[in-house]
Amino acid sequence: MSTRDRLLAVLVAVLWGLNFLAVRVGLDHFPPFFLAALRFLVLAVPVVLFVPRPQVPLRWLLGYGLGFGAMQFGLLFLAIDNGMPSGQASVVVQAAAPLTVLLGAVLLHERLSWQQLAGMAAAVLGLTVIAVDRARTAALLPLFLTLLAALGWALGNLASRQARPEHPLRFALWMSVVPPLPLLALSAVMEGPATGWRAFGGAFDAEGWPGLVALLYIALAGSVVGSGIWTALLKRYEAGTVAPYSMLVPVVGIAAAWPALDEEPSALSLAGAAIVVIGVLAGMGLALPKRPHGKGPGPEGEPGPESGAARPDLPAGPVVAQPDEPTPKVQDTQRS
């Protein structure tokens, strides 16, 4: 990855790490499934009206919306609402990273290097240390719900990878059209058909503004900025190259929850966070030279030109189809 793309991946980790604080604030004002639906509904209406639909197969758009959107956020909000500390949630949901790499290797036949495997193993070890330490005071159900949310994130990552959208931000924005209906349906069944709407009406009084601010942060920072950058990176690089950066999210989440929510981590949790960072750095391959264009995949798992990653002979910036790399055409029957 280029230096710029590494910094963008870190920026996404910071935005998503602070999301957990915003979620905790939002859940003080809205029920979980309804808050998750609002998170996407805020964007879905203007997107349908003003943003052209991305030219990708409908199945990948639905897969991304249902996995990354409805499944991840619905279950994650439900877990936090049922007692999962936000710092702990930011750790456990990072199981999405090894799940993405594993599913990418099994389902998409993506190649893994020993360096990536070692880095992932170290990061998973760090996550395990943190999870075990915090699980002693957390109920089993919230932990299980958070792991299912991580699976949704991983499935969404693979759908995004397969879609290879020509306009990643447009694709990320249109993903927000998918989750509101299933999440509103779940809210109506499990939380009551009028509960969420009453909470939404009360959010405009003098005591409800923190919930609205949290909702706007979750929607705009997570979707427009975070998901747009993440989707662009997944288009340029293999899932196994991008996914490890998401392991920085729990470091941000724990560090932010400490002063803001009084979730003081133990020494063991801090040690686990340090192991996570070491694992991420080990998996990046910062010092590895790139193989010249035309020589196939780069060393130690660096994606080559045929992988759809950014080519070393092209300047940094959005990846566009080159004359020798035409964009694959999709049959009209695959579009809607």
CA distance 183 to 36: 7
- Whether residue 302 is predicted with pLDDT greater than 70 in this model: the reply is no
61 CB-near residues (< 8 Å, 6+ apart)? 54, 159, 163, 171, 174, 175, 178
pLDDT band at 236 (very low <50, low <70, confident <90, very high): confident
Closest to 163 (Cα-Cα) out of 306, 71, 57, 54: 57
pLDDT at 184: 96
Burial 243-277 (b: 16+ CB within 10 A, else e): bbbbbbbbbbbbbbbeeeeebebeeebbebbebbb
pLDDT at 197: 93
Verdict on whether the full-model pTM lies above 0.85: no
| Helices and strands, number each (H, E), in the chain | 16, 0
pLDDT at 320: 29
pLDDT at 260: 84
Residue 326, classed as helix, strand or coil, is coil
CA distance 79 to 293: 46
CA distance 9 to 245: 6
C-beta separation of 34 from 199 below 8 A:
yes
- Whether residue 322 is predicted with pLDDT greater than 60 in this model: the reply is no
Higher per-residue pLDDT: 204 or 269: 204
pLDDT at 131: 77
pLDDT at 293: 38
- Whether residue 238 is predicted with pLDDT greater than 50 in this model: the reply is yes
Mean pLDDT in residue range 184-188: 96
pLDDT at 126: 85
C-beta separation of 104 from 110 below 8 A:
yes
Mean pLDDT of the chain: 78
What backbone phi and psi angles, to 5 degrees, belong to 268?
A: -65, -40
Q: Give the chain's radius of gyration (CA, Å).
A: 20
* Percent of the chain topping pLDDT 70: 82
pLDDT band at 307 (very low <50, low <70, confident <90, very high): very low
Interval 269-285: pLDDT, tens: 788 888 877 877 676 55
- Whether residue 9 is predicted with pLDDT greater than 70 in this model: the reply is yes
C-beta separation of 218 from 224 below 8 A:
no
pLDDT band at 170 (very low <50, low <70, confident <90, very high): confident
Interval 108-119: pLDDT, tens: 887 887 877 887
- Whether residue 246 is predicted with pLDDT greater than 80 in this model: the reply is no
